[in-house]
Amino acid sequence: MSGRTVLITGASSGLGEEMARQFAALGWDLALCARRTERLEALREEITARHPERTVALKALDVTDGEAVFTVFGEFAAEFGTVQRVIVNAGLGKGAAYGTGRHDANRQTAMTNFVGALAQSEAAMEIFRRQGHGHLVMISSVSALRGMRKAMTTYAATKAGVAAMAEGLRSERVPGVDVSVVYPGYIRSEMNAHVQQKTRFMVDTASGVRAMVAAIEKRKAKAYVPAWPWVPIATAMKLLPLSVVRRLV
């Protein structure tokens, strides 16, 4: 083992899958979990073929099962001896305009993205408090900066909640523990692969995740990625009238 272990949830696809590849290339051992274990198995085969010196451990996990989150995180910590970094990444992008009969989709997103993130953060902090060090990384979204409309309303609200959770933990200043929140812009992933129209500012998965990983490695408290154009856009989103924000993003 490398002596450095990163635990990534939602690692079977999209941003989580690519983060696993890139952290392995940087010398990190991997604790990967997701619901779809067959995809995790394929990812492990790919990573160990490229980096045979890496240790890659896998576990099935549905983050809406709070008890399972604590169990899986604890098992990873026991297997590796220590977990230096936990990336709360598992997420869902389902949603519909309120009052249109799709409360089920909005509730599922809320349970996965916020309640699931709460369980993951609690489980991670138990490990970090016990070992006296750690780095908690919360994956939010630029959509968290303002209220979004229609299908995005619940998703944006959950990501704002995740960011607030991270800020609260950072304010607590737990000794030895760093807390980062990453706000990805438009990065191509499985979650948005169904979007057919050309989206402004969209970048490919590898490039977008490279910016995320660089910010995480620097242990930044807050990062909008990729920095261009999302740092200036994020500033504008906080200040502009909602009517202008709607046209911008």
Q: Is the pLDDT of residue 200 over 60?
A: yes
pLDDT score recorded for residue 192: 53
Whole-number Å distance between alpha carbons of 245 and 241: 6
Cis bond before residue 241 (omega within 30° of 0): no
Q: Is the pLDDT of residue 193 over 90?
A: no
Active-site annotation holder among 98, 155, 183, 186: 155
Element of type H or E holding 33: strand 29-34
The CATH number assigned to the domain with range 5-248 reads 3.40.50.720
pTM of the model: 0.94
Residue 1: pLDDT band by 50, 70, 90 thresholds? low
Q: For residue range 119-172, list pLDDT tens digits in order.
A: 999 999 999 999 999 999 999 999 999 999 999 999 999 999 999 999 999 999
pLDDT score recorded for residue 190: 65
What are residue 127's phi and psi, to 5 degrees? -65, -45
Whole-number Å distance between alpha carbons of 211 and 76: 27
* Known active-site residue 155: yes
What is the distance, to the nearest Å, from the Cα of residue 99 to the centroid of all Cα atoms in its chain? 29
Q: For residue range 232-247, list pLDDT tens digits in order.
A: 999 999 999 888 888 8
What average pLDDT score do residues 15-44 get?
97
